[in-house]
A and B are shown apart, each in its own frame.
Chain A
Amino acid sequence: MRLNKRFYVVITIVLVLLAAYFIFPFYWLAIGTTKNVSQLFQKSLLPGRPSHLRSNMSGVFSYQNGVFLSWMLNSFLYATVGAFVGVFIAALAGYAFRRYDFIGKRLLFVLIIAFAMVPGFATTLPLFMMFRDLSLIDTRLAVLLPSFVNIFGVYMMVSYWNQIEEEVFDAASIDGANDLIAFWKIGLPNVIPGFITLFLMAFVSIWNNFFLPLVVVNSRARMPLILGITTITDPQGFPVYNLTLTASFFTILPLLILFVSLQRYFKPQIYMR
């Protein structure tokens, strides 16, 4: 599109200023990891000198006998297993909607979508009561189980499966493949890109989910990073700013690496839970 020069320059200035707004907290967080508390209190926009990155890192990793490492492993466990199981179950369900004209299809689909609209807050509190009765409170299973329900995944999977031509399945059934084999060998490879996209989205949303673990986990050894980092204090219970910042940085680092390296799989869409 043609633009006159002056207008183009104005737009560029606005875009650069906005970029500064969006990038600034990342910059401040990154330099924050190089500072101890008194350097933080100097309010400078430059990295700490001398750099305390090492001592901050060892401070974070040795905090409370290395509980940070457990948080990290927990986060990876919750996000990887939860996302994979959730998306796989969604793929199976989506396949059923694509392949079969079964009794109750329409009703079931509408019901599933309707329940997707109920906010997480309304389910988390009763989940807490339910898990308490099942003695699941403060177990890893309590964080994992809810992530196995990926309604948005079902919704998206139906549309991914819909993109596969009918002939693909017909050919499979002529070859005598039974339904499970058809799903596994012929269907699944065709939806792999969608599978990866959904897996990444679920991974990020589980990694970032604060409310559920806040409600169902008490002991620090089972917390994910996102909850753990909010509990960092000195023995007197006062916040330790430099450690919290450094821990925050390592909480988002895996997300940034994932996002930058797998950018093509992150297809933003209007997101339903």
Chain B
Amino acid sequence: MIRLNKARLKATMKAYLFLAPFLVVFIGLIVYPIGLGVRLSLYGQRGARMWYVGLDNYKRILSDSMFWESFRIPLFLLLIQVPLMLLLATIIALFYETRKNGGPLYRFIYYLPYTIPGIVSGIVWSYIFSDSMSPLLPFLELFGRTGVKFLTRSNVPGILLIIILWQFTGYTAFLVYSALIAIPKEYSEAAQLDGAGLWQIALRIKLPLLKGPLFTLFIFNAIGAMQVFNEPWMLGNLVVLPLNYTPAMYIYNSAFSQGRFTYAAAMGIILAVITCGFSWYILRSAGRQILERRH
């Protein structure tokens, strides 16, 4: 028994030697900053002067309509863009299956936008919709519609939808397709023998088996939607958008244009709590899966 413990102690020492570099950067650059963020959020601030105020910042945020209004865009993305994208991606993945080898060329082309940073897609798409450069305007003029303005503030959510769908649909379709081909062929073959049509196989057999992956994708995209920043930030160069257009923009602007760091830190904590709520499910299953092999 004692010897066993000795071995375990030795293994523990060795393990922490290998873990040391990671633990140093992890604690220094993730754990400590989060702790610092929590501490800052409890302070009032004017210029360089700071003083403890307890939960005052949080109380003020609860009644700060600017903060809650900033969730309009994330909610729009969560309720419209994400479901639309998952639907499109599933249809595309089913279409891939009708091609030889899953249509590698289509998969490649559809995936490409995902490799492009949000800032560059923001630049290119905002130019494509701009009054001065839009290649779409000559087409509208063909149909006698002159003086159309795409880039107005009320159109920005629609344009965001087009940009974000462009960026992530191909990637998502790729993931759904990977889940599809993991489904044993026998399932659909058996159904076919029973006389099931293509639609029936897709709806009754494949879709139910995609539930898990689709749900995980929904969660990840929900997290992304809560944090959207780059695309509206770039569009903001061509259309005037309010400081609080998205939560992340409001946090950034509060800290760096208005200098309200502690207030911004508190908003950051609230946003983090909201996103962590979404990821709770994934956290649970991820931890379980990966360590099981060793026990």
Show the binding face of A for B, using Cβ within 8 Å.
Answer: 1, 3, 7-8, 11, 14-15, 18-19, 21-23, 25-26, 28-29, 32, 40-41, 43-45, 89-90, 92-93, 95-106, 108-110, 112-115, 117-123, 125-130, 145-146, 148-149, 151, 154-155, 158-159, 162, 179, 183, 204, 207-208, 210-211, 214-215, 226, 229-230, 239, 241, 244-245, 248, 251-252, 255-256, 259, 263, 268-272
Contacts and interface: CB of A to CB of B under 8 A. Distances in A.
Residue among B116, B237, B251 with the most chain A CB within 10 A? B116
B276 A118 contact: yes
A145 B27 CA distance: 12
Contacts of A113: 283, 286-287
A40 B138 CA distance: 13
The 7 closest A-B pairs by CB, nearest first: A208-B117, A122-B272, A102-B15, A100-B15, A96-B18, A126-B37, A93-B22
Interface of B: 8-9, 11-12, 14-16, 18-19, 21-23, 25-26, 29-34, 36-37, 40, 92, 95, 97-99, 103, 106, 108-121, 123-125, 127-128, 132-135, 137-138, 166, 170-171, 174-175, 178, 188, 198, 213, 216-217, 220, 223, 226-227, 229-230, 233-234, 237, 248, 251-252, 255-256, 261, 264-265, 268-269, 271-272, 275-276, 279, 282-283, 286-287, 290-291, 293-294
Chain A facing B: main interface SS: helix
Contact of A109 (B174, B220, B227, B291): B291
Contacts of A25: 113, 121, 124-125, 128, 166
A203 B127 CA distance: 27
Nearest to B255: A125
A103 B123 CA distance: 50
Nearest to B265: A125
A101 B5 CA distance: 11
B257 to A, nearest CB: 12
B115 A255 contact: yes
